[in-house]
Structure 1
Amino acid sequence: MQERARHPGSRSAPVLALAVRGAPQQAPRSTPTPTEDTPRARENPSRFSQAQRPASHRSRRLSPGVRREVPDPALPASRPWAQEPGRLNFGRNPERPQEPREEGSHRMAEGPGGGGPRRDGAGGGGAAEEVVRRRCWRGEEAEVSQPWPEGPRGMAAGPPVEERFRQMHLRKQVSYRKAITKSGLQHLAPPPPAPGAPCSEPERHIRSTVDWSESATYGEHIWFETNVSGDFCYVGEQYCVAKMLKSVSRRKCAACKIVVHTPCIEQLEKINFRCKPSFRESGSRNVREPTFVRHHWVHRRRQDGKCRHCGKGFQQKFTFHSKEIVAISCSWCKQAYHSKVSCFMLQQIEEPCSLGVHAAVVIPPTWILRARRPQNTLKASKKKKRASFKRKSSKKGPEEGRWRPFIIRPTPSPLMKPLLVFVNPKSGGNQGAKIIQSFLWYLNPRQVFDLSQGGPKEALEMYRKVHNLRILACGGDGTVGWILSTLDQLRLKPSPPVAILPLGTGNDLARTLNWGGGYTDEPVSKILSHVEEGNVVQLDRWDLHAEPNPEAGPEERDEGATDRLPLDVFNNYFSLGFDAHVTLEFHESREANPEKFNSRFRNKMFYAGTAFSDFLTGSSKDLAKHIRVVCDGTDLTPKIQDLKPQCIVFLNIPRYCAGTMPWGHPGEHHDFEPQRHDDGYLEVIGFTMTSLAALQVGGHGERLTQCREVVLTTSKAIPVQVDGEPCKLTASRIHIALRNQATMVQKVKRRSATPLHSDQQPVPEQLQIQVSRVSMHDYEALHYDKEQLKEASVPVGTVVVPGDSDLELCRAHIERLQQEPEGAGAKSLTYQKLSPKWCFLDATTASRFYRIDRAQEHLNYVTEIAQDEIYILDPELLGASARPDLPTPTSPLPTSPCSPTPRSLPGDAVPPKGEELVEAAKRNDFCKLQELHQAGGDLMHRDDRSRTLLHHAVSTGSKEVVRYLLDHAPAEILDAVEENGETCLHQAAALGQRTICHYIVEAGASLMKTDQQGDTPRQRAEKAQDTELAAYLENRQHYQMIQREDQETAV
């Protein structure tokens, strides 16, 4: 079956051919084959049969769609280039200039690429054309591939019947080959092989990183292991070698998002499909000639969004396991079309690609050239000898004079902000490794770098001449400091601004620049937009110079101390005392036993335990006796000795210790100025144990001074830390002074809802928005399906906010909505109160829902993430949360088994008995308990042994019931005791139920209550021989003690 569309400028030339590879085609009528002795045959030797043609004109079949020329034995053996097989173009090189003395024809690839849709789903995309050439005796190239003869005479001398049927399929593509040839795409041919390159292409291994060597393959895929079982192998059924096998590993290309079986990767060459090109060859004499990028078309069986031509969605009968090609999309600009002639036309093959919405930050492959290694000729060696004395006096470093396989030739544009992305895969667990794949999809793979593969220096050196360059550092604050120090070494002028994608925890610098405290699931596309639109700001960087203190006596020396700091520059803070001691112990323990610190929960527990033990021993209480601090010539030692701090911090940014603000807002104190990260001043702060505890609940430390220079002298070995890197420094004299200012990118508040035209309606003065919340269970299961997630949401109520309000202000209105009594102002429609950990969901920016970090709420307007309804995510909301009874014009939907029955009228209401609630809690019947509660049941009911419902839920280990009771029952249930004096926390600790203990402690239960035997919950866990749970309860108990002491001190 064959479908055709006519070229706009031609009457009869068919430009798009669809044929199912491998299907039997009707053979054309055979014609007599001319003999070798006839005059007609001598005039047209190309009409010879294969058996009758001269040896120099023979060709043999390799695979469907690919021919390779048989070497001519008559050619001299001294010319190996004449004996090499015909070079095959498996990829597109749109920048290759047309060279004289070359001929060639282009043919539509048999796979689904290059713009021609196909039904079997194989190959295509960037390898849209195949060029089969042969290097001839005169150095010219000519196509010599000829079809096998038809008819009985041809069968006697030709290949088997299967080969002839495949050739029939190729003949159906001849018209499309002519159309592409006429369209002026001859420059798509790749350049000739470099001198000295082997004739046959070597067997390549599967790559998972970008190849920067001189042997890099053009259009090479970047494979990652995947478990996508719903996608068929991209090579199609004919070439899939693993279609009959089970449990075959699959791999997905991060740059073009095709999925193939691992054994089928080699089959991609047979269907001529390569990845989107990331560089071009330097074969042209003028490397700065204007070039453009062509589309990289890939066939898709599943596609989101709508067709760019007709505006309709990509629908298919069966979402999973569908063999039908529904769309053709470009890996660069992400445009997609229906896989039919009416939507996708020949013009898309020729059109230059715009590189999509992120074209301003994408580095085009035309900027990246693969350089040829210079040849050491005799003439060149003489010139080197003459100029040798000049090189001795040259100031170029070893990096500048070293040959590199790739060079960057940018085309400056004031509208472009090219981006380099550096990802630390070790940050944030496995977040770094996953985020790399997303950037490879949106950007050029050669602008994304894995810092574990050699650091940032090579990449920054290579891109140093790119105008208006920006950098995105994906990692923690240490990763950002690494990149800033490398920029200092290279002395780039001007220094490119650095944006931050925070991974892991902490990230105080990222919080300061509005990038948040960590990465949740924000779309990479929106992150790139923020990097492009961010403001350029300055960040002070400070020099640290330490030298031994000559006045310290030998008795003060410590064998475990060092006289060198871990870093000589800091961006965030430099501290000594209590916090440095805790960090140092954790660092040393992790280095000694790394296998014990592979859990974030265990790490936090160790931090808490170390902090408490240091608090008890008072190892830092005499800090003021062993230091002398002089700031801008003023001696602060007497003031510090009066304060008796256990920790002193020299702070450069407002954030410290995972988001706290120790300097606070000294608006009422005229002696101090508000803190800034670009004013050239350091803030010196002292902490007592009380102020450290108050820091976690919004307090601040003791403000000592703001200064430009510090001289710190210690008389004994003291733990210190520089931007989180600890060490025990011997008695030293430390000098702190301003080093320079780094250029950073600060995330700004976007106004996507701002009217773009004067005729548009302005933002209203007030917005009335319905608030609906989503459970974590529904979010994880449905966040890629907007409509289903909206249906699963539960209405909370309606709020009225100003039209230009941000999410921070909207949060205050929503929380006030939960506190208002019935009948007041806004209507609250839900029965379950919001947990303290709820966050906003963006339902409009991307194709799916995603969370918004609470630290970035002031950067987002309400109108930016919502229209008539705003959605929030409540991680502690139960998955089967019930909708309240709302009057709707439609008939009621069928309810699930866990959905509550509608409430009866007040006059008919009969509250359920307490025994029914107890039985539901004992049987772990969550649905029944929820139904009884909403029918008026009392959650504070006790049985004859004074056991509450929470006691029964803990004894059965029902986490779901426990969470429901904690959310809905009064707070008194937490510390309610049964007849033997046990609280529910005692019981959970004795049973070793760690998760339930965590729920109860976080809800606010007391850890200092004792039972009739005088045991606390921690002691009950110790008796149960659960040491980890006992350590956790001990830590939380001490935290409660410190909080209580701090509250008493404040009073």
Structure 2
Amino acid sequence: MADGNAETEFLQKQFYIPSYLLDRELPTVIITSVPTCPVIFFINTKSGGQLGASLLLTCCQIANPLQVFDLGQDAPEKILCKIYGNLERLISNGDNVAAEIKKRLRLIVAGGDGTANWLFGVISDLKLANPPPIATIPLGTGNNIPFSLGWGKKNPGTDRQSVISFLNKVCSAREMKIDSWDIVMSMRAPRPCDAFAPVDLPQSLGALRLVPKTDSDNRDNNCAFRGAFWNYFSMGMDAQVSYAFHSERKVHPEKFKNQHLNQRRYVKLGCTQGWFCASLFHPESRNIAQLAKVKIMKNPGHWEELHIPHSIRSIVCLNLPSFSGGLNPWGTPDNKKQRERDLTAPYVDDGLLEVVGFKDGWHGLVLLTPKGHGTRLAQAHRVKFKFRKGAVDHAYMRLDGEPWKQPLPEDDGKVVVEISHLGQIKVLATENCIARSIDSGSTSHLTESVDELSESTTVSINT
């Protein structure tokens, strides 16, 4: 009993937020000490089979239930507006505890990459003066975002001790900024006679919304849709395989309750979709070069066309160094290649995207070898895809692991996807973080030294 009381006291001192700070309807109480690391949980109970629901119950037992939210029931933007509004009210009334809670607050999001994208977007849209940093619990299939930041690829456990261990890591984690990227798709507004159906967007792409155009644009009957990403945007065969996986999971959710089996099923779908025999199963119209003209901006105000080899069937605009379950498609170019191609070391807060191409699934498997990488196409501050008129009637796309099938008007030659820098958000990273920040140069210098020692083992297809 004594041990239980000691643990409860420890949890309250570290993480527990008093109820009156979270709900303005509750009476104010006198607080003698402020929690060291106050946290708010946002949990996608639909992620990870039954793991999300189990995690929710454990967190409610460890923390104040008012600190724990089910993303299937509670909209995070409304919750955060309510909490921050209440904290501001209390601060204006002289509540020093509320001021400290606001200063120390950390958010935890549990789910897949799409769930992390969702909460990142909410924080970005709120435009808080001092936004809270975010930690990510991996409950999805790919888990590229938590892996990049050092939180691992597998669920850390939903039992009491596992959650307490994770909370201790959140408390000691360092803050790091990562770039946010804006993506806008513009095209002719659909007409009633158009054959394609409305786009079925995943929850995490709820921000990919219709954007009003200017009067001059409306005379051309154009429309635009906007979203954001923090890990990657991809288009082509990889997104098609991902879309097949998500579609099957939506129809048969009971078959996707095991994280390991989900990953095996994903690989199997890659085979059945022809990703490993792309040259045989897919015509040239599926090649990125046939699908769209790609332009990049390296220097402000100057667009230049990017040459895409005809063998490339998938293109990735990468911000974090993790793709397809923890693989790094950019790798680390040696010093000679960096000089020859005017490349810089990849950082997550440098305002640059790494643009990488893949030929097929076999090309992707090169990432499993020492120093393996995809076809390095460019580094850029902005990227633009202008789709060729009548090339295809749809394209498969992904933002941070969430795929969709985008219909394309066959008689419209002005379909454009443009990616540009949107600012930055604060995340939490552990000592196992593989993402490199400009502010933590010592780690990157060490990595580069190790890379130079192993240059002789490089395995790649193209540079």
Query: In the alignment, does 2:398 pair up with 1:721?
Result: yes
Q: Equivalent residue for 2:288?
A: 623
SS across alignment from 1:734: strand
Q: Residue 241 of structure 2 contacts residue 269 of structure 2 at CA under 8 Å; is this kept in 1?
A: no
- Say whether 1:635 aligns with 2:318: no
Whichever residue aligns with residue 458 of structure 1, its letter is K
Correspondences of 1:249-328 after superposition (within 5 Å): none
One-letter code of the match for 2:422? R
CA deviation after TM superposition for structure 1 residue 683, in Å: 0.8
Shift of 1:585: 2.9
Q: Distance in 1 between matches of 2:397 and 2:323?
A: 15
CA distance in 2, matches of 1:482, 1:743: 14
1:693 aligned partner, one-letter code: L
In the alignment, structure 1 residue 673 sits paired with structure 2 residue 293: no
Q: Which residue of 2 aligns with 1:469?
A: 105
Structure ranking higher in helix proportion: 2
Whether the 8 Å CA contact 2:176–2:429 is kept in 1: the answer is: yes
The answer to whether 1:706 aligns with 2:365 is no
Instruction: Tell me the CA shift for residue 738 of structure 1.
Output: 1.0
The corresponding residue for 1:645 is 312
Label 1:703 to 1:443 Cα distance change in 2 as closer, same or farther (>3 A): same
Q: Return closer, same or farther for 1:746/1:714 CA change in 2, 3 Å cut-off.
A: same
State the distance in 2 between where 1:446 and 1:427 align: 21
> Quick one: which of 213, 236, 246 aligns to 1:587?
246
Report the Cα offset of residue 710 of structure 1.
1.4
| Partner residue in 2 for 1:657 | 324
Separation (CA, whole Å) in 2 of partners of 1:743 and 1:694: 32
SS, match of residue 665 in structure 1: coil
Identify which of 408, 418, 438 aligns with 2:58.
438
1:510 aligned onto 2:116: no
Task: Let me know the Cα RMSD of the aligned residues.
Answer: 3.4
Specify whether residues 579 and 619 from structure 1 end up closer, same or farther in structure 2 by C-alpha distance, changes over 3 A only.
farther
Quick check: 1:546–1:563 contact (8 Å CA) kept in 2?
no
Equivalent pair of 2:373/2:460 in contact (CA under 8 Å): no
Structure 2 distance, partners of 1:560, 1:366, is 47
Name the CA distance, whole Å, in 1 between partners of 2:115 and 2:348: 19
8 Å CA contact 1:629–1:636 kept in 2: the answer is yes
Rate the CA distance shift 1:595–1:634 in 2: closer, same or farther, 3 A.
Answer: same
Q: Please give the alpha-carbon distance, in whole angstroms, between the structure 2 residues aligned to 1:363 and 1:1048.
A: 51
1:519 aligns with 2:155: yes
State whether residues 367 and 411 of structure 1, in contact with CA within 8 Å, keep that contact through their aligned partners in structure 2. Answer: no
Contact kept, 8 Å, 2:329 with 2:367, in 1: the verdict is yes
Alignment partners' CA distance in 2, 1:560 and 1:697: 42
Alignment-derived partner of residue 173 in structure 2: 534
Q: Quote the residue 1:610 is aligned against.
A: 273
CA separation in 2, counterparts of 1:513 and 1:362?
25
Answering whether residue 16 of structure 2 is matched by residue 362 of structure 1, we say: yes
Q: 1:417 aligns with which of 27, 37, 54?
A: 37
Judged with a 3 Å threshold, the aligned counterparts in structure 2 of structure 1 residues 659 and 454 are, in CA distance, closer, same or farther, namely same
The gaps in structure 1 that reach 5 residues or longer are 1-299, 301-306, 309-328, 336-354, 372-405, 751-1046
- Output the CA distance in 2 between the equivalents of 1:488 and 1:410: 33
Q: How far apart are 1:500 and its partner, in Å?
A: 1.0
Helix, strand or coil at the partner of 1:462: helix
Q: 1:841 — aligned with what?
A: none
- Offset of residue 559 of structure 1: 3.4
Tell me how far apart the structure 2 counterparts of residues 460 and 485 of structure 1 sit (CA, whole Å): 12
* Counterpart amino acid of residue 64 in structure 2: N
Deviation at 1:514, TM superposition (A): 0.5
How far the C-alpha of 1:418 sits from its partner, in A, is 1.4
Deviation at 1:630, TM superposition (A): 1.1
User: Is 1:687 aligned to 2:323, yes or no?
Assistant: no
The equivalent of 2:187 in structure 1 is 548
**Unmatched tracts of structure 2, length 5 or more:** 88-101, 209-226, 410-414, 434-458
Please tell me whether the aligned partners of residues 577 and 623 of structure 1 are also in contact (alpha carbons under 8 angstroms). Answer: yes
Seq. identity, %: 28
**1:370 shift after superposition:** 6.3
Q: 1:446 to 1:696 in 2, by over 3 A?
A: same
Partner deviation per Cα, 1:116-135 (whole Å, 9 max, x = no partner) = xxxxxxxxxxxxxxxxxxxx
Alignment CA distance shift 1:545-1:444 (3 Å):
same
- Structure 1 residues 558 and 628: alpha-carbon distance in aligned structure 2, compared to 1, 3 A threshold: farther
Q: Distance in 1 between matches of 2:142 and 2:239?
A: 15
Task: Provide the rounded CA distance (Å) in 2 between the counterparts of 1:574 and 1:359.
Answer: 41
- Rounded to whole Å, the distance in 1 between the matches of 2:123 and 2:134 is 10
Deviation at 1:516, TM superposition (A): 0.6
Alpha carbons 1:360, 1:417 under 8 Å: kept: yes
With over 3 angstroms needed to count, the CA separation of the structure-2 counterparts of 1:612 and 1:662, relative to structure 1, is closer
Select 2:77's aligned residue among 438, 449, 457.
457
> Distance between the aligned counterparts of 1:485 and 1:408, measured in 2?
32
Q: CA deviation at 1:501?
A: 1.3
Q: Is the 8 Å Cα contact of residues 506 and 657 (structure 1) preserved in structure 2?
A: yes
How big is the shift at 1:473? 0.8
How far residue 622 of structure 1 moved from its aligned partner, in angstroms, is 3.1
Higher strand proportion, which one? 2
Separation (CA, whole Å) in 2 of partners of 1:561 and 1:366:
44
What one-letter code is carried by the residue in structure 2 that aligns with 1:730? L
Q: Distance in 2 between matches of 1:657 and 1:483?
A: 21
SS at match of 1:584: helix
| Cα distance in structure 2, aligned partners of 1:701 and 1:650 | 12
Pick closer, same or farther for the CA change 1:664–1:561 going to 2, 3 Å: farther
Instruction: Report the CA distance between 1:455 and its aligned residue.
Output: 2.7
Kept in 2, the 8 Å contact 1:549–1:733? The answer is no
Note the C-alpha offset of 1:679.
1.2
What is the aligned counterpart of 1:742 among 418, 425, 435? Answer: 425
- Distance in 2 of aligned mates of 1:593 and 1:443: 34
2:440 corresponds to: none
The structural deviation recorded for 1:368 is: 5.3
- Given the two structures, how large is their TM-score scaled by the length of structure 1? 0.32
* 8 Å Cα contact 2:287/2:314 also seen in 1: no
Are 2:375 and 2:461, in contact at CA under 8 Å, matched by a contact in 1? no
Change (3 A) 1:537 1:412: farther
Q: 1:368 to 1:408 in 2, by over 3 A?
A: farther
Greater relative contact order structure (CA < 8 Å, 6+ sep): 2
Give TM-score scaled by structure 2 length.
0.70
Deviation of 1:629 (Å): 1.1
